[in-house]
Amino acid sequence: MPALNKTLLTGDFSFPPNLEAGPYPDNLPERILQFGEGNFLRAFVDWMIHELNKKGLFQGRVVVVQPLARGLVDKLNQQDGLYTLILRGYQDGQVVEKREIITSISRGINPYEDWQAVLRCAEDPQIDIVISNTTEAGIIYDPGDSLTAAPPRSFPGKLTTFLYHRYNYFQGDPDKGMLILPCELIDRNGDNLKAITLKLAGEWGLPGAFQQWLKEANIFLNTLVDRVVPGYPREEAEQLARELGYKDDLLDTGELFHLWVIEGPTHLKEKLPFHAGGLNVIWTDDMTPYRTRKVRILNGAHTATAAVAFLSGIDTVREAVEHPRIGRFMEELIYNEVIPATDLDKGMLTEFAGEVLQRFRNPYIVHRWQSILLNTTSKYKTRVLPSLLDYVARKKKVPAKLTFSLAAMASLFKDGKTNGRQFQGKRPQGEFIIEDAPEALAFWQAAWQQYKGTAESAREVAAYILGNSEVWGKELNSVPGLAKKLGVYLQEIVTGGMAAALEKVLAEGEGA
């Protein structure tokens, strides 16, 4: 079976009629530098750029930089930047499936093998947009980062070095700044990224004139992305290859729904004219309400339910929503705890929650809990913890489901071993591997060392978990009743198993 690449696309291969396979855009210049080559960006931003190019509205391509040493860039280059995207779901009550070969990526760079290739992109005046998705763990300040490293360790370190190279190459030209749109799901992602780059520039002793240029010539925008992207469809891959007639190791899947909220001046619309291409992109002067509802309800439900479902032997989001107990857990968590804790219009939140649950039931989306559990510790901090703390502040009691979700997440890491980045654990269905930051894995291992099999020691584990302000951003043992409740749930999960513990928490009601 032939592999997908430029030769296949431009030759006389007969593509199936239900696949859109357009020309290869050899003539389009590179205009975007993208940090991140994963499923999400390829099914979201790169798809949008492809749509604009088809309509002649952008006329540019994307250079992809792999943010970690291990990634997909080699495969991407073997396929000449091409991959198949399948979008599926309900539209106006009808089942819709769209299959298309995406041609917006020109090439990929592994900065750990060729950092100079990234810096050469800084010398290209036509590349004036940066897009990123390095996960919540990507926009971080790394005090050990270095300008002279090839490459710097962190994404902000790489970006600062890239921008300094551009500044020097164009001799501080104020017209050569970049438009920077991070897609990482942290609050005020653009503001945070800008602050870290400025901090690094100062610590590295870079010239004041560069720091001024960094601040004034570059535009860092806060954005919010929304599309469920399960990624590579493992179960269907062979069947899809037979239907397509070619092999595609970068096959990607997503739902039809998409939303990108960008906080910034509307004149920038013309640089990225998504509106003209009929795409669901909102430019606004305040993205806060959009972010809060999405992060707390959609992402929050994912993160809060992931360990509960996974330790119950449920592997996908759809199975969980349709499961009598786990589906009820998720709905009660959203409607009885997250929405009451959130200071936005309740009608708007309730309507959004209904849409989210409908999207979760999409029969064409196989979204695995194991992939949602990637970097679950930092995800809990940004997606779930704010709802828990706001609930306590408003209701003066501890929310049962949100606290139980923390206990379930902790229980994932109880028995197993780590190699620093991966954790190999056990559930009744067998062994599993999940990835998290090395410091997060070390934190969970240290927490469980307090456990001696007793309810009292479970409370000590809870106190250890809640006491780590580096993990949570604040010390949480001061939250009335939280340590006690978390300890009870930990002991119930460990001694009675997830199913019995879940039955108990469902019988409890809203909070305690």
Stretch 218-246: mean pLDDT, rounded?
A: 95
Gap between the Cα atoms of 159 and 178, Å rounded: 11
Q: Give the tokens for residue 354.
A: 């209904």
Q: Give the tokens for residue 404.
A: 């139980």
pLDDT at residue 363 in the model: 85
Which among 102, 97, 90, 88 has a CA at the least distance from the CA of 41?
102
Residue written as tokens 């910034």? Answer: 264
Stretch 191-196: mean pLDDT, rounded?
A: 98
Q: Where are the beta strands (DSSP E) in 392-480?
A: 416-418, 422-427, 430-435
Mean pLDDT, the chain, whole residue set: 96
Q: Please answer whether residues 182 and 189 qualify as being in contact, where contact means their C-beta atoms are separated by less than 8 angstroms.
A: yes
Q: Give the tokens for residue 14.
A: 């007969």
Helix, strand, or coil (residue 415): coil
Residue 93 has pLDDT above 80, yes or no: no
Residue 510 has pLDDT above 70, yes or no: no
Stretch 178-186: mean pLDDT, rounded?
A: 95
**359 compared with 462, residue with greater pLDDT:** 462
Which of 131-140, 171-180, 338-347 is the least confident region? 131-140
Residue 354 has pLDDT above 70, yes or no: yes
Residue 511 has pLDDT above 60, yes or no: no
Percent of the chain with pLDDT over 90: 93
pLDDT band at 381 (very low <50, low <70, confident <90, very high): very high
Which among 157, 86, 95, 169 has a CA at the least distance from the CA of 127?
169
Stretch 312-322: mean pLDDT, rounded?
A: 97
pTM of the model: 0.76
Residue 5 has pLDDT above 90, yes or no: yes
CA–centroid distance for 238 within its chain: 27
Residue 292 has pLDDT above 70, yes or no: yes
Stretch 327-353: mean pLDDT, rounded?
A: 97
Counting Cβ atoms within 10 Å, is residue 400 exposed (0-12), middle (13-18) or buried (19+)?
buried
Q: How many separate helices (H) and strands (E) can be counted in the chain?
A: 24, 16
Class of domain 6-284: alpha beta
pLDDT at residue 92 in the model: 75
pLDDT band at 463 (very low <50, low <70, confident <90, very high): very high
Q: Where are the alpha helices (DSSP H) in 3-150?
A: 6-10, 39-43, 45-54, 73-78, 115-122
Residue 230 has pLDDT above 90, yes or no: no
Residue 362 has pLDDT above 90, yes or no: no
Gap between the Cα atoms of 412 and 406, Å rounded: 10
Stretch 334-347: mean pLDDT, rounded?
A: 98
Q: Where are the beta strands (DSSP E) in 213-291?
A: 219-220, 222-226, 252-255, 259-263, 281-284
CA–centroid distance for 75 within its chain: 21
CA distances from 413 to 159, 319, 403, 424 (A): 33, 23, 16, 9
pLDDT at residue 94 in the model: 81
Stretch 41-48: mean pLDDT, rounded?
A: 99
Stretch 66-90: mean pLDDT, rounded?
A: 95
Residue 136 has pLDDT above 80, yes or no: no
Which among 272, 100, 286, 276 has a CA at the least distance from the CA of 179?
272
Stretch 174-187: mean pLDDT, rounded?
A: 96
Q: Residues with Cβ < 8 Å from 161, sequence gap 6 or more?
A: 119, 147, 151, 152
Which of 86-90, 121-125, 140-144, 409-413 is the least confident region? 86-90
pLDDT band at 365 (very low <50, low <70, confident <90, very high): confident
pLDDT at residue 185 in the model: 86
Segment holding 160, helix H or strand E: helix 155-169
**In the chain, what are the domain boundaries?**
6-284, 288-508
Q: Where are the beta strands (DSSP E) in 401-462?
A: 416-418, 422-427, 430-435
pLDDT at residue 95 in the model: 83
Stretch 114-126: mean pLDDT, rounded?
A: 99
pLDDT at residue 512 in the model: 52
Stretch 187-213: mean pLDDT, rounded?
A: 98
Assigned CATH for 288-508: 1.10.1040.10
